[in-house]
Amino acid sequence: MIFQEKSYNLHVGYSALPPGEKWQQYELKAQGVRDFARIRSNAPLNPFELARFANLLVVDVKQIKGLSKGARQHLLGSASEEWSGGASSRPLPDGQRIVILNPNHGPMRTNATLMEEICHVFLGHKANRLSVIGPDERGRFRARDYKKQDEEAAYAIGAAALVPYVVLRRFVLKGQNSHEIARHFRVSRELVEYRLKVTRLWKNYRSEREAQEANGA
């Protein structure tokens, strides 16, 4: 575990955090990730550069040897939208863990997937079950998962690390739309809108957008 909650309660004012104690704690942990990465507050975070510090080896499913042709076609075809990525339950001999990413997903979506896996490592989360490569008797593919609260925390903290609240709020007040914000942070528009909603900036964002539309902007 790279950072601790108490370490990041010292120099951050309340105005730098979103409403709600849970979301404030997520934001503090996300700031810990960004501090560890040593990037500016308004700079986009590159999860692929951060992955090596989490001792993760990033690959896509096309690089996996021994996977049957049928399984590969299923994962990259009809089941492609059912999975984004996941980490191996057992480390390699050198201690690295493999993270498999879906090559059919664009880089903006992949950034969020990898960031979530990095946060699972940084937070010391343990998976509930091991992954199963290939379909079961019902034709389903299973991946290892975490406790529900760990899944929420890893995704929320990863999203906050990618789109920090202070900068997001500044962009909203400047009247930038979700597409512009997404391009700046190199994430999907859906992730930006998720952040707007959980940080309670959505109402302000919609008001700004409606005002601009009324003025013909």
What tokens were used for 168? 């997001």
Report yes or no on whether pTM surpasses 0.85: no
**What does the pLDDT look like over 93-140, one tens digit per residue?**
888 888 888 877 888 888 998 999 899 888 888 765 444 434 444 444
**What does the pLDDT look like over 151-208, one tens digit per residue?**
899 999 999 999 999 999 999 999 999 999 999 999 999 999 999 999 999 999 998 8
Per-residue pLDDT at 13 exceeds 70: no
What tokens were used for 61? 């499913």
Which among 85, 89, 88 is positioned nearest to 75, based on CA atoms? 85
Look-up: residue for tokens 């019902």? Answer: 138
What tokens were used for 167? 């900068």
Answer with the residue of higher pLDDT: 9 or 55: 55
**What type of residue sits at position 200?**
R
CA–CA separation, 114 and 67 (whole Å): 22
Sorting pLDDT into bands at 50, 70 and 90, what band is 217? low
pLDDT reported for residue 165: 97
pLDDT reported for residue 195: 97
- Write out the H or E segment, with its range, that includes residue 34: helix 21-37
pLDDT reported for residue 154: 92
Q: Which residues lie across from 132 on neighbouring strands?
A: 142
Per-residue pLDDT at 12 exceeds 50: no
Which among 167, 164, 88 is positioned nearest to 129, based on CA atoms? 88
* Sequence-distant (≥ 6) Cβ neighbours of residue 211 within 8 angstroms: 175
**What does the pLDDT look like over 45-75, one tens digit per residue?**
999 999 988 888 888 777 777 778 888 777 7
Which among 123, 190, 191, 130 is positioned nearest to 151, based on CA atoms? 123
* Sequence-distant (≥ 6) Cβ neighbours of residue 161 within 8 angstroms: 30, 31, 33, 34, 45, 115, 119
